[in-house]
Amino acid sequence: MYIYDTFDRTLVNERVAEFRDQVARRLSGELTEDEFKPLRLMNGVYLQLHAYMLRVALPYGTLSSEQMRVVAQVARRYDRGYGHFTTRQNIQFNWIRLSDMPDVLADLASAELHAMQTSGNCVRNITSDQWAGAAPDEVEDPRIWAEVLRQHSTLHPEFLFLPRKFKIAITASAHDRAAIKVHDIGLRLYRNEAGEAGFEVSVGGGLGRTPFIGKVIRPFLAKRDFLSYIEAILRVYNQYGRRDNIYKARIKILVHELGAECFAREVEAEWRTIKDGALALDPAVVADIAARFRYPRYEPLADDPPEVAVLRRAEPRFAAWLANSVANHKVAGYAIVTLSLKPEGGPPGDATAEQMDAVADLADRFSFGEIRVGHEQNLVLPHVAQHDLPEIWRALDRNGLATPNVGLVSDIIACPGLDYCSLANARSIPVAQELTRRFRNLDLARDLGRLHINISGCINACGHHHVGHIGILGVEKNGEEFYQITLGGRADERAQLGELLGPAVPYAQVADVIEDIVAAYLDLRERPDELFIDTVARVGIEPFKEHVYAVH
């Protein structure tokens, strides 16, 4: 992970001092709420239903064990003993007082954490693959580029008052674990036919009221041009994005209204004027950033150590966890371990301070002090020696972090919804909780295979329901909670939006309907290993509609 130098630290500390001053001026009345709101949003401070919410940045989903401990301490000292990991690889606290925010930020800054630009009409946390740096199928570590861009976009004076929020994601694997196609800018690092590494650039992806899959506007962007080209996109957006209507202000609308080709031409025209200027990336600069990333000193180990084989035979629960939550690492003898934050009956993505401390300890002992957060709201220990797997499993199991449901039906992605969020129309967490209870049987879950359920409590789609295999969207009808259900969405390299199944369903029936959909899948699949998403692709949604609406 990236190691801060004095420049990085100074900037974060200066930000804390600035915000302390801004909060003081707000509390004294010198600043009105209108003047303060964009300032606090740029520091990740939201006002929600019950209280303020603070969204802390975890850059590209990477944090150290020490940082996790500080996060746990914030949860204990200033909040209610827990935090929520989000679909953009950040962490949220739901109960912090505005008057405490400067102290919270100072505590976080001591661990090189901050909340800069986690909200507001600016460039947000740049997200990436939670397996970056460990995945076997990766071209290079995309986080280096995410860090280059994080620095470039942090307090970038020109782009702090964009028409609307701006989200960028980057992947370096053919299999996209970062959902880049539903981001304002999606970057895929790959090697072209000449063997050069460069970026495929997509723009205008996004969910919400008008969802779009991103369009490729530049098939190959050389590394040297990485910053200048993105600068050109941002400048075109800053100048031409709509500001008259907040529902039409994202770049996806501009790309849609101009057309991708015309938009690409605007970007190229701007880019030509700046590409050879101060933003042309010197390889030495990139190498310098890359050198600040610490990588593990792996030991030479063999795959499939006997400790693992022995326990796998002896303990079916370990075997189940191994098969589900442990993935191949690019280095022999190591593994990538996913920690499910989706226990039966739990709010998806939440962790207690105790759990956070436990994860920090495990990271120190078994993962070179490094932890990741995925957009599916689970945690990852990215560099675990395989021979340590039995001990890690026992520790995770004790701490409720070993539910072997990663990627399965009960690994639900959900926004906070009406229980927390002032934008919501309906609750999402209780729906998720009930579904984890209906699908508690792990044999069934395994039999169903990979199945992503995404729940959003309103059209802002923070639960990414449009790209769920099963998407659930909360709406309000006559003061009651109803839910629209979509099928067939995908967030990966074959990204597509789900299709509406039928009329919205009342709260009390949602879990029943999902069970019916799953039953329909079991009926319709060609063979046990045909995934849900592939069955939907093969037969369409009509057969599912018949199943569900015949019963109801």
Q: Interaction with other proteins in 137-156: which residues (CB under 8 A)?
A: 151-156
Number of residues in contact with other proteins, rule: CB under 8 A?
Answer: 103
Diameter of the chain measured on Cα atoms: 68
Structure tokens at 302: 């063999």
Comparing C-alpha atoms, which of 516, 543, 521, 517 is closest to residue 531?
521
- Alpha carbon distance 86, 69 (integer Å): 18
- 351 contributes a contact to other proteins by CB under 8 A: yes
Helix axes 510-524, 542-551, angle to 10 degrees: 130
Ramachandran sector of residue 152 (left: φ over 0; alpha: ψ -120 to 50; beta: rest): alpha
Q: Measured from the CB of residue 33, what is the shortest distance to other proteins in angstroms?
A: 5
DSSP characters for 217-264? EEEEEEGGGHHHHHHHHHHHHHHHS--S-GGG-SHHHHHHHH-HHHHH
Q: Which amino acid appears at position 316 of this protein?
A: P
Comparing C-alpha atoms, which of 333, 345, 405, 419 is closest to residue 376?
405
Contact with other proteins (CB under 8 A) among 106, 423, 497, 524: 423
- 3 contributes a contact to other proteins by CB under 8 A: yes
Contact with other proteins (CB under 8 A) among 60, 131, 368, 483: 368
Q: Which of residues 260-289 bind other proteins (CB under 8 A)?
A: 273-274, 277-279, 284-285, 288
**CB-nearer residue toward other proteins: 15 or 547:** 15
Q: Measured from the CB of residue 42, what is the shortest distance to other proteins in angstroms?
A: 9
Q: Measured from the CB of residue 430, what is the shortest distance to other proteins in angstroms?
A: 6
- 10 contributes a contact to other proteins by CB under 8 A: yes
Q: Measured from the CB of residue 141, what is the shortest distance to other proteins in angstroms?
A: 14
Site string for other proteins, 402-421 (x = CB under 8 A): ----------------xxx-
**CB-nearer residue toward other proteins: 207 or 458:** 458
Query: 454 has which bridge partners?
Result: 413, 471
Q: Which of residues 117-136 bind other proteins (CB under 8 A)?
A: 121
Q: Measured from the CB of residue 47, what is the shortest distance to other proteins in angstroms?
A: 6
**CB-nearer residue toward other proteins: 13 or 496:** 13
- Alpha carbon distance 97, 118 (integer Å): 18
Comparing C-alpha atoms, which of 133, 120, 197, 205 is closest to residue 159?
120
**CB-nearer residue toward other proteins: 262 or 522:** 262
Taking a C-beta distance cutoff of 8 angstroms, is the pair 172, 190 a contact? yes
Taking a C-beta distance cutoff of 8 angstroms, is the pair 112, 9 a contact? yes
Buried b (16+ CB within 10 A) or exposed e, 400-411: bbbbbbbbbbbb
Q: Which amino acid appears at position 301 of this protein?
A: L
Contact with other proteins (CB under 8 A) among 24, 136, 158, 304: 158
Taking a C-beta distance cutoff of 8 angstroms, is the pair 212, 101 a contact? no
Q: Which of residues 479-498 bind other proteins (CB under 8 A)?
A: 479, 481
Query: 57 has which bridge partners?
Result: 114
Contact with other proteins (CB under 8 A) among 433, 436, 484, 486: 433
Comparing C-alpha atoms, which of 234, 212, 115 is closest to residue 163?
234
Q: Measured from the CB of residue 412, what is the shortest distance to other proteins in angstroms?
A: 14
Nearest-Å Rg of the Cα atoms of the chain is 23
**CB-nearer residue toward other proteins: 282 or 443:** 282
Structure tokens at 272: 């030509």
Contact with other proteins (CB under 8 A) among 66, 140, 315, 493: 66
- 334 contributes a contact to other proteins by CB under 8 A: no
- 228 contributes a contact to other proteins by CB under 8 A: no
Contact with other proteins (CB under 8 A) among 223, 224, 242, 243: 243
- 75 contributes a contact to other proteins by CB under 8 A: yes
Q: Measured from the CB of residue 416, what is the shortest distance to other proteins in angstroms?
A: 9
- 196 contributes a contact to other proteins by CB under 8 A: no
- 305 contributes a contact to other proteins by CB under 8 A: no
**CB-nearer residue toward other proteins: 98 or 539:** 98
Taking a C-beta distance cutoff of 8 angstroms, is the pair 552, 513 a contact? yes
- 39 contributes a contact to other proteins by CB under 8 A: yes
**CB-nearer residue toward other proteins: 171 or 428:** 428
Contact with other proteins (CB under 8 A) among 117, 238, 377, 484: 238
- Alpha carbon distance 264, 233 (integer Å): 9
Comparing C-alpha atoms, which of 279, 303, 480 is closest to residue 389?
303
Structure tokens at 84: 């929520």
- 14 contributes a contact to other proteins by CB under 8 A: yes
**CB-nearer residue toward other proteins: 17 or 522:** 17
Contact with other proteins (CB under 8 A) among 80, 242, 256, 438: 80
Q: Which of residues 41-60 bind other proteins (CB under 8 A)?
A: 47-52
